[in-house]
């Protein structure tokens, strides 16, 4: 593959190429470009995610909403995104990892919601920040969240929610933790496109993360604060 030239103004064209291949549904091209950006051009993995993959997915989401793209296009792009994360993950952790262990986080997408790419990125960012992460996957019930939180003695429970109709299941999960008597032992962070700070506060959570890297920073802050208190 030939070296990717710079756009006027210095923005590397490779990020746009990755985003375009996502929108065009060319999964193999996405993965090859990601590999090229990382290994030939030495682009930072976090920028490849933000300006290439996530940007392409965002455009695709809008085209899906307006009826110009279909569910199958989202599935192809999601597969390419996940394959790309596997390429980027080792480099992200090796280049940006914080050596000391910050705590244990259990992570999952709320019940009824199968979106998992954002959650996977949050998991990686938390690992980079020194947390041990146990990913329960998508569509996690309040009962399961609560059982795992108790059994694993996790410091933080992180919930991802992408659909407006199921985001209320984050509240049902918090209610379940209260019912099981373990709410006071764990910090709760919630995020995802339709979620905001106000929603998290209303349902009784502790913290909101706008994106993966902000989520990791916020996680460190709430764990450090609770250590200071004890
Ligand atoms: Co669906 N989907 N989808 N989808 N999908 C959305 C979310 C939607 C907005 C598309 C649209 O209509 N514009 C819409 C929801 C509308 C709404 O409720 N407001 C939607 C819909 C309707 C659906 C279905 C119902 C469609 C259908 O079947 N008719 C269905 C849902 C089925 C279900 O869950 N029960 C469905 C299915 C799918 C696919 C399976 C095809 C696929 C998911 C594949 C997978 O994950 N395995 C998919 C995709 C890819 C999308 C879009 C296009 C992209 C989501 C994504 O991966 N983004 C999405 C539209 C969009 O977001 N533009 C859409 C990339 C990712 C990096 O960003 O997930 O936002 P994001 O995560 C960010 C932040 O939000 C944040 O950090 C992440 C990284 O920066 N974050 C957290 C996320 N979790 C966090 C947790 C935290 C902190 C931060 O703390 C714990």
For a ligand 1 pocket test, name from 56, 61, 63, 219 the mutation site with the most ligand atoms within 8 angstroms of its C-beta.
61
Tell which atom from ligand 1 comes closest to the C-alpha of 207. Answer: 90
Mean pLDDT of 38-60: 93
CATH of 103-229, one of 1.20.810.10, 3.40.50.280, 3.30.1360.120, 3.40.50.1820: 3.40.50.280
User: Residues 141, 110: contact at Cβ < 8 Å?
Assistant: no
Tens digit of each residue's pLDDT (9 = 90 or more) over 180-210: 999 999 999 999 999 999 999 999 999 999 9
Which residue has the least CA distance to atom 3 on ligand 1?
115
What are 191's strand-pairing partners? 160, 209
Return the best residue to mutate from 71, 75, 118, 125 for the ligand 1 pocket (most ligand atoms within 8 A of CB): 118
What are the angstrom distances between the C-alpha of 6 and each of 10, 11, 13, 20? 6, 6, 6, 16
Q: How far apart are the first and last CA of the chain?
A: 55
Mean pLDDT (whole number) for 94-100 = 58
Distance 115 CA to ligand 1 centre (A): 5
- Token look-up 């793209």 returns 69
Q: Which of 149, 110, 140, 106 is nearest to 126 (CA)?
A: 106
- Per-residue confidence (pLDDT) for residue 117, from 0 to 100: 94
> What is the residue extent of each domain of the chain?
8-95, 103-229
Ligand 1 center to 24 CA (angstroms): 18
Q: What local confidence, expressed as pLDDT, does residue 11 receive?
A: 53
Angle at 142 between CA 175 and CA 209, to 5 degrees: 80
* pLDDT value for 9: 45
How much is the mean pLDDT over the chain?
90
Residue 3: the pLDDT is 45
- The answer to whether the CB of 129 is under 6 A from ligand 1 is no
In this prediction, residues 7-22 reach a mean pLDDT of 79
| CATH for 8-95 (1.10.3720.10, 1.25.40.10, 1.10.1240.10, 3.30.420.40) | 1.10.1240.10
Show the tokens assigned to 56.
Answer: 């392409």
Most confident of 45-59, 86-100, 170-184: 170-184
Concatenated DSSP letters of 160-201: E---TTTTHHHHHHHHHHHHTT-GGG-EEEEESTT--HHHHH
CA of 101 to the centre of ligand 1 (A): 30
Whole-model pTM over 0.95: no
Task: Name the pLDDT band for 229 (thresholds 50, 70, 90).
Answer: low
């Amino acid at each position: 593959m030939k070296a990717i030239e710079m756009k006027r103004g210095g923005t590397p064209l490779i990020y746009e190429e990755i985003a375009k291949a996502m929108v065009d549904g060319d999964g193999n091209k996405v993965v090859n470009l990601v590999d090229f950006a990382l290994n030939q051009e030495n682009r930072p993995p976090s920028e490849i995610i933000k300006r290439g993959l996530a940007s392409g997915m965002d455009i695709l989401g809008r085209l899906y909403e307006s009826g110009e793209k279909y569910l199958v296009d989202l599935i192809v792009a999601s597969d390419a995104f996940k394959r790309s994360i596997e390429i980027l993950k080792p480099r992200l952790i090796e280049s940006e990892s914080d050596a000391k262990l910050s705590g244990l986080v259990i992570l999952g997408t709320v019940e009824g919601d199968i979106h998992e790419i954002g959650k996977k990125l949050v998991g990686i960012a938390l690992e980079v920040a020194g947390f041990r992460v146990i990913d329960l996957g998508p569509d996690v019930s309040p009962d399961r969240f609560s059982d795992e939180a108790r059994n694993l003695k996790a410091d933080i429970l992180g919930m991802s929610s992408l659909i407006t109709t199921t985001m209320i299941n984050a509240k049902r999960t918090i209610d379940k933790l209260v019912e099981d008597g373990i709410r006071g032992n764990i910090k709760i962070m919630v995020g995802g496109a339709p979620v905001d700070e106000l929603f998290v506060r209303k349902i009784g959570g502790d913290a909101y993360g706008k994106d993966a890297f902000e989520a990791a920073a916020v996680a460190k802050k709430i764990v450090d604060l609770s250590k200071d208190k004890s």
